[in-house]
Amino acid sequence: MRSTLLAVVVLAVAVLVSWLASRRVGRRGGGRIRQPRIPQPGEIWWAYVPFREIDEEKHRPCLVLNVTANYIDILKITSQDKSHRTDHIEIPTRSWSPNSTKNSFLDLSAPIRIGWADLDRRAGVVDAGPWQRVCQLHQVGRTIPQPPAEYLAPLPRERTNRPVARVLVAVVTFFAVLCVCGPCLNNFVPFFGSSGNVDGSQGDTHLYRLTVVAGDASRSGYRIDSTLAGDRYPKSTALWVGCDGKPLTISYEIDGRYKRLAATAGLDAHTPAGLAAKIVVAGDGKTRKSVTVTRDTTAAIDIDVTGVRLLTLSAVRTKGSCELASRPYGALGDALLIR
C-alpha cells in the first residue's frame, strides 16, 4: 500500500512540474523593450486574458474599451465559430490578422479587466460596423496621457523555445517516474480509482478577476499589490473607502458557484495615520462579515458564501481624515473565492 501511495504522489508531482514548466517557459519573453504606445479604444491588441471561472489566462487578441492608469477594460476575441451565440458577433480579420483564413468572433457579453503587464502587442483596429455595435452596449472612450512607468520596463527574457522545452521536460519526467515508481506502477490504476481533481482547487478564483456588476466599478475591484500591516499581498482586490460618511460599494454576481471567501482586510501603507475604516462583506443583502481596520491592523475574512448569488463589498471611514490619493486605501488582501 505504501509503495502504491508513493507512486501516486511522485507521479502526480512529476506531471504537475512538467505542466507548470511547459506553461511558464516561453511566456511573455523575448527580452524586448516595450514601445511606449498607449492602447486606444477600438484597437485590437494581443494580451494575456484571464478566464472568468478559473485562475488561468490565455494569450489571445482582444478589443480595447477603456484605458486607465490602473487597468484596461477589454472584450475577448475568439477564432472559434460562435455564430450560434447571440452574445457574439463576427468580425473581419483582414485589417489586424492578415494571415488568418477566416473571420473571428467578438464576445459582447461583459468586459474583462486586465492590467498593463498583461498587454503584449498591438494588432490593428476593429472595423467600424462592429465598433458601433460595441459602443451601443458598453461604455467606451476613456484613456490616459501616458502609461505607467512599469509598462515601459524591459520584459523578461525567455529561456528557450516552448515546444522544445515541453519535449525535454516530458522526457525527464518519464525517466524519473520510471526509475522511482517502476516496481509499483502495476498497482497504480486500482489504487487511484475514478478520475477527478485530487486537491479540489480547480475553479478557485481571485476576487479581482470577476466583473463588477454594480457600484463604483471604475475605481474599485481591480487588482493591486498591497501592503497591509507590513505584509505584502500581491493579488489584492482594490476597495476605495467612502470618506464623506457614505460607504463606497461594489457587487459581484457569483450565482452560488462558490463556498467560501477568504481574504485579509486592511488599509494600504499609504493610508494616513489615524484613519480607520469599516469594511463590510454582504451576501444577497445580508451582512456576512463586518470588520474595522487601520493602517497597522488587519482582519481575517473567512466566510461561508454557499448559495450566495450577489456578493457586495463596502468600505467607509469611521475615524481620522482622508487625503488626496491616486490609489485606494482599502484592500482585500489576496481575496480568493473557493469552490
The region, left, alpha or beta by phi > 0 then psi within -120 to 50, assigned to residue 249 is beta
Give the pLDDT band (50/70/90) at residue 141: confident
Residue-wise pLDDT tens digits, 82-108: 999 999 999 999 888 878 889 999 999
Q: Determine the Cα–Cα distance for residues 76 and 211; give it in Å rounded to an integer.
A: 14
pLDDT at residue 1 above 90?
A: no
Q: Do residues 310 and 228 both lie within one domain? A: yes
Give the pLDDT band (50/70/90) at residue 5: low
pLDDT at residue 164 above 60?
A: no
Residue-wise pLDDT tens digits, 17-48: 656 655 544 444 444 444 557 899 999 999 99
Q: Is residue 32 part of a domain?
A: no
Of 264, 263, 236, the closest CA to residue 328 belongs to: 236
Q: Do residues 81 and 147 both lie within one domain? A: yes
Cell of 28: 511573455
Q: Do residues 327 and 215 both lie within one domain? A: yes
Burial 215-252 (b: 16+ CB within 10 A, else e): bebbbbbbbbebbbbeeebebbbbbbbbbeeebbbbbb
Position 144 scores a pLDDT of: 64
Q: How many domains does the chain have?
A: 3
Q: Do residues 302 and 233 both lie within one domain? A: yes
Pairing of strands 112-114, 72-78: antiparallel
- Least confident piece of the model among 2-6, 49-53, 77-81, 274-278: 2-6
Q: Do residues 334 and 225 both lie within one domain? A: yes
Q: How deeply is 2 buried, as exposed, middle or buried, from its count of CB atoms within 10 A (0-12, 13-18, 19+)?
A: exposed
Q: Do residues 50 and 148 both lie within one domain? A: yes
Q: Is residue 84 part of a domain?
A: yes
- Least confident piece of the model among 111-120, 176-185, 222-231: 176-185
The CATH number for 123's domain is 2.30.30.110
Q: Do residues 21 and 165 both lie within one domain? A: yes
**Structural domain for 247, as ranges:** 205-338
Q: Do residues 299 and 243 both lie within one domain? A: yes
Cell of 83: 455564430
Give the pLDDT band (50/70/90) at residue 203: confident
